[in-house]
Chains A and B, each alone.
Chain A
Amino acid sequence: MDNLSATYDARGLVELDGTIPKISEIDGERAVLDARELSTRKINAELRWLLYEQGIKDVTVLNPGARHSLGTGILTRCRLTFEGSLGYFGVGLIDGPEIQINGRVGWSVAENMMSGVVVIESNAGSLAGAALRGGDLVVKGQVGARTGIDQKGGTILVLGDAGSMTGFMLQRGRQIICGDVGPGLGDSMYDGTIYVGGTVASLGIDCVEGEWTDADTELIERKFRIYGLGAPPELKKFVCGKKLYNYDNLEPSERKLVL
């Protein structure tokens, strides 16, 4: 199946020969991949082969075994299901797929997602949805610290609690946290909205409570309806106070140039 010519690598990180295993069971537009014996690189190579070259639209990955960086960089519309937990940097840098993870994920899940849907049945680590640009990230358990750090779009929906500095440096997009959040909520946020259902340990710098509008109600109800999460809880809205940064003001050096 694969002929690994290099057997020794001092760092233990690189497989020098990356052949595609081609072991998935293919049935029409669907495929099932048992990843138990495969390395991270081979799993990802196999996924690319299935999605880009075999025209498969629906892949189920068995036994992901909490490995890191699985399902990253998928840039096509498809349906992916992981039957188990992922490690760090799971399904990052994606554009288009609908991903279901029946387990837990480690740090930095769906980092820099452009579009698509990621649904996680259990908990997620810190930095979930870091630098998210679009799409929906749904976590049915709890998340760690710094959820959606540097988020620039899209929606993060968490049914459980969230750790400290949730929405740190949020620039655009929405976060809906149904449980409690840790200290420093929305610290240094520029824009965007954070909805919190439980208690807020403390607000971060320049994060203030916002005024609820009908558009907020519509958004929350729509997201809960799409993912079949029942009736949404009572939520509070937090936005940027816009006191920390000088929006539309020129730096002294720039002012000189304009004059």
Chain B
Amino acid sequence: MCGIAGIIYRNGDGHEQVGRDMTRMLQAMKHRGPDSTGYALYRPDAEGYVMHVKLSESNGHQDFEFAERVNRQRGEIEARVRSIGARVHSVDTSAAHAMTLTFDHDGDLKELADYVEDIRGAEVLSLGRSLEIVKDLGDADTVAADYGLNDFIGTHAIGHARMATESDVDIANAHPYWAYPFPDVAVVHNGQLTNYHQWRRRLERAGHRFQSDCDSEIIAVYLAELMAKGESLEDSMRRSLHELDGVFTYICVTEDALGVAKDELGAKPLVLYESDDIVALASEEIAIRKVVDREIETYDPYEGAVMVWTT
């Protein structure tokens, strides 16, 4: 089933409480997916790049060397980022099995991400100037508290409450997906894609790599590849309606835009609220009402709808 949500402030100065908003929206839709929760949050240009890396997971409660292993990994990741020529500004190791690095880098980002991922168990969750992806098991309140997301100030955000149907309950399979290695593109998806293997093989032949076995990941890479070739977000999403099979409502975000697409059967729900200063969309109106607490005029976009808003 899964619940997806997105919020974008249109006239803000980039200092909106999107983290808190997203937690409220996702917590209201907990019944749609209690397995895991994920956020993709955007702030106005941070200094340099921000990279979130997931570290290896514990092998059960008798994994006595876990803490030491994770610490070794943290050191190794930082050393590799430095050795490839990046100028590291800060390293945050407060989360239990993830770490955040901010750095400047003039070289190839794919090369850097590949080098970090080469460490056993390490996965780059997001990399970009303004994008931060956080995902973990549990509901929105738990994840927000663990990662301090309710204090996040930014311009727009998307989120996902997951009920696993096509792949494992696992952080790697949780949404949102970053379009590796394209900076600042992320996707959340509600539905199932039936030509996933076809697209995965196609994109893998083109040199892309995938972090998980989840069908939704191809949407992110698919869109980012089209955009890297110069197509706009809206055109790429329109094309996806014909090239991706299955049922879907997905939200794609870039540095300065938020777009939503619905398949041509209208099989998955989406409720949309638009006003002069805010656009909020979610699988259920009850989520929007947690952010805009009054009677509002909302509607369901029709099948095959593609809509894009910019900050």
B19 at the interface (CB under 8 A from A): no
Interface string of A175-206 (1 = CB under 8 A from B): 00000001100000000000000000000000
Q: Mark A91-129, 1 if CB is under 8 A from B, else 0.
A: 000000000000110110000000000000011011000
B298 touches A144 (CB 8 A): no
User: Do A164 and B286 touch (CB < 8 A)?
Assistant: no
Residues of A close to B284: CB separation below 8 A: 66, 68, 87-88, 106
Interface segment among B60-68, B228-236, B264-272: the answer is B264-272
B128 at the interface (CB under 8 A from A): no
Q: Is B34's CB under 8 angstroms from A123's CB?
A: no
- Does A67 have its Cβ within 8 Å of any Cβ on chain B? yes
* Complex Cα gap A106–B288 (Å): 13
Main secondary structure of the interface of A (DSSP, over half): loop
Flag whether A163 is at the interface (Cβ < 8 A). Answer: yes
User: How many chain-B residues does the 8 Å CB contact rule pick out?
Assistant: 22
CB contacts under 8 Å to A, within B279-299, are 284-286, 288-289, 295-299
Interface status of A231 (Cβ within 8 A of chain B): no
Known A106-B285, A126-B266; judge A84-B295 contact (CB<8 A). Answer: yes
Pairwise interchain contact A164-B285, C-beta atoms closer than 8 A: no
Q: Is the CB of A126 within 8 A of B295?
A: no
Alpha-carbon distance A84/B139, docked complex (angstroms): 28
142-181 of chain A: CB within 8 A of chain B: 142, 144-146, 161, 163-165
Check if B271 sits within 8 Å of A125, measured CB to CB.
yes
In angstroms, Cα B264 to Cα A12, docked, is 33
B300 at the interface (CB under 8 A from A): yes
Cα A88 to Cα B284 in complex, Å, equals 8
A103 touches B295 (CB 8 A): yes
Instruction: Take A125-B271, A163-B266 as given contacts and tell me if A144 and B302 are in contact as well, using a CB distance cutoff of 8 Å.
Output: yes
Tell me the interface secondary structure of chain B in the complex.
Answer: loop
Across-interface contacts of B289 in A (CB, < 8 A): 65-66
* A171, B269: Cα distance in complex, Å: 25
Question: B302 near A182 (CB under 8 angstroms)?
Answer: yes
Residues A87 and B302 in contact, CB atoms below 8 Å apart: no
From A68, A104, A141, A182, name the one whose CB has the most chain B CB atoms within 10 angstroms.
A104
A126 in contact with B31 given A66-B286, A68-B286 (CB within 8 Å): no
Instruction: Give 7 nearest A-B pairs by CB, closest first.
Output: A145-B266, A66-B285, A144-B300, A123-B299, A164-B303, A125-B300, A66-B286
Q: A125-B300, A145-B302, A164-B266 are in contact. List 12 more A-B contacts (CB 8 A).
A: A10-B34, A65-B289, A66-B284, A66-B286, A66-B289, A103-B295, A106-B269, A106-B284, A145-B303, A163-B303, A164-B265, A182-B303
16 CB contacts below 8 A, A to B, read: A10-B34, A12-B30, A12-B139, A85-B296, A87-B284, A87-B285, A103-B295, A106-B285, A123-B299, A125-B271, A125-B300, A126-B300, A145-B266, A146-B266, A164-B264, A182-B302
Q: Give residues in A with beta carbon < 8 Å to B.
A: 10-13, 65-68, 84-85, 87-88, 103-104, 106-107, 122-123, 125-126, 141-142, 144-146, 161, 163-165, 182-183
The residues of B with any CB-CB pair to A shorter than 8 Å are 30-31, 34, 139, 264-266, 269, 271, 284-286, 288-289, 295-300, 302-303
